[in-house]
Amino acid sequence: MQLRRIFWMTLVVLAVGLMAKAMWHDCRELLILLRVQILGADYSCFWAGAKTAITAPHLLYDFIHNTDVQGWPLGPHDIRPYIYPPSALFVFIPFAIFPYHVGFALWVAVTGALYMWAALRTGAPWWVMLSPCVLLVVDCGQMPFIMGGLVIGALTLKDRPNLAGVMLGIAACLKPQFVLLAPLAFLAEGRLRTLVVAGLTGVVVCSAAAMVWGPGIWFDWLAALPRFKELVTTNHGLLFTGATPYAWLTSSGYNGAWAYLLIPAAIGMVWFTFANATEMPDRLLALFGGILLISPYAMNYEYVLLAPAVASYLARIRDPRWPLYGLATAGFLTFIWYPPALYFALALPVLRYTRAPAPVSIRELSFFKS
């Protein structure tokens, strides 16, 4: 018993040390990023697309034109297109009517508040907002805050199926690949009404986009997707910092399509998790983890979608398995710039069923009792 306790304490010290080291490394990387790219470098793509939709909608999916509209984020040699569906413009345009920096600040504040509301509803601690991957989204102004807020919020609103359906439908209109497995999750839970409302919401918003900008804009978007894929898959830097097995295989010189062999595993993981009475952190890891496993393109800022679940596990200081959760979290924090972070996050639900290193919890230590 004494040896197990010593082993447990050793794991605690190791986990805390590795997490501290990872946080220090991540903060340094964020500071380096601030020196080489401006705040909101990714928000600028939404901003330029919204501006183009107002002034020259026929050029919305002209990659060069939208790069020229931005002009300054990373220099003229970088192609920075607008590649989101026309339906997403209804969300981007209200922020684009303001000067760039004002719109960026409002975008981060509004979407960040939505994300935090949803994260707290899952039981995640408030300090999830201090996660390096959250700070990365604050820096670049990308989409995970609004996508996480909408999808996670819909998952938690079981008693309000209509509102949940509207939120899920809007999320699908913004970034459809990140709700790819959501219908399966809601179906496993028997939430058919939410799915029907989500479908109707999507039809209404997409039809509105066709009426405002013309049906042809949807064909322009579909035609732009292969061009965008070619742009991404030939950029080694983007693939190297990607968050998917597809990106990892491609950057390593292999055929990324091998990652699609994980589709049955992702589907099975989502169905099993949502069909059983599992906890909300496990649901988040299954849904977003499954989506990342089979997505061809997703960047490291998408780890924000996993952060509430990771933080929830780390907050379980009464659990004798806490050192194992701490080590998995340390791995997640260490690799948030690269694909392996996903696998450390997905290990957390598995660790919950392992034998505890010692029959004691963090809460039982004397410095917590004093």
Handedness of CA 54, 91, 84, 208 (dihedral sign): negative
* CA nearest neighbour of 247 among 330, 172, 363, 337: 337
Which tokens belong to 309?
A: 């679940």
Report how far residue 206's alpha carbon sits from residue 6's, in angstroms, rounded to the nearest whole number. 60
Which tokens belong to 48?
A: 């330029």
Q: Which of the residues in the chain have pLDDT under 70?
A: 1, 72-77, 236-238, 277, 361-370
Please state, in angstroms and as integers, the Cα–Cα distance from residue 309 to each residue in 26, 40, 124, 177, 344, following that order.
19, 26, 7, 21, 12
Report how far residue 274's alpha carbon sits from residue 251's, in angstroms, rounded to the nearest whole number. 33
Tell me, what's the pLDDT at 236? 67
Number of separate helices (H) and strands (E) present in the chain = 19, 0
Q: What is the pTM of this model?
A: 0.91
* CA nearest neighbour of 100 among 136, 46, 61: 46
Residue position matching structure tokens 């809601």:
186
Secondary structure of the chain: what % helix, strand, coil (to 5)? 75, 0, 25
Those residues whose C-beta lies under 8 Å from the C-beta of residue 77, and which sit 6 or more positions away, are none
Tell me, what's the pLDDT at 75? 58
Q: How many CB atoms lie under 10 A from the CB of residue 47?
A: 27
Which tokens belong to 194?
A: 């939410």
Handedness of CA 71, 77, 78, 84 (dihedral sign): positive
